A and B are shown apart, each in its own frame.
Chain A
Amino acid sequence: MFEGVPLTWFLITGTIMFFVGIYGFLVRKNLITILMSTELILNSVNINFVAFNKILYPDHLEGMFFSIFIIAVAAAEASMAIAIIINIYRRLVNIDVEKMNEMKY
Chain B
Amino acid sequence: MSILTLFIIIPVLTIIGILLSKSHMQVKWVAVVGMSLQLLSAIGLILLYLAERRAGNMAEVLFVQDNVWYETLNIHFYLGVDGVSVAMIGLTALVVFAGIFASWDIVDLPREFFTSLILLAAGVFGFFISLDLFTMFLFYELAVIPMYLLIGIWGSGPRHYSAMKLTLMLMGGSAFILLGIIGIYFNSAPGGGQLTFDLIKISKQNIPLDAQLFLFPFLFVGFGVLGAMFPFHTWSPDGHASAPTAVSMLHAGVLMKLGGYGCYRVAVFLLPEAAHQLGWIFLILATIGVIYGALGAVWQKDLKYINAYSSVSHCALVLFAILMFNQTAMNGAIMQMISHGIMTALFFALIGMIYGRTHTRFINEMGGLMKVMPFLGVAYVIAGLASLGLPGFSGFVAEMTIFVGAFQNADTFHRVATIIAASSIVVTAVYVLRVVGILLLGKIKNEHFETITDARWYDKMSVVALIFGITLIGMAPLWLSDMITGGLGPIMHKLLAAAPGLN
Touch test A–B (CB under 8 Å): no
| Interfacial residues, chain B to chain A (CB-CB below 8 A) | none
| Interfacial residues, chain A to chain B (CB-CB below 8 A) | none
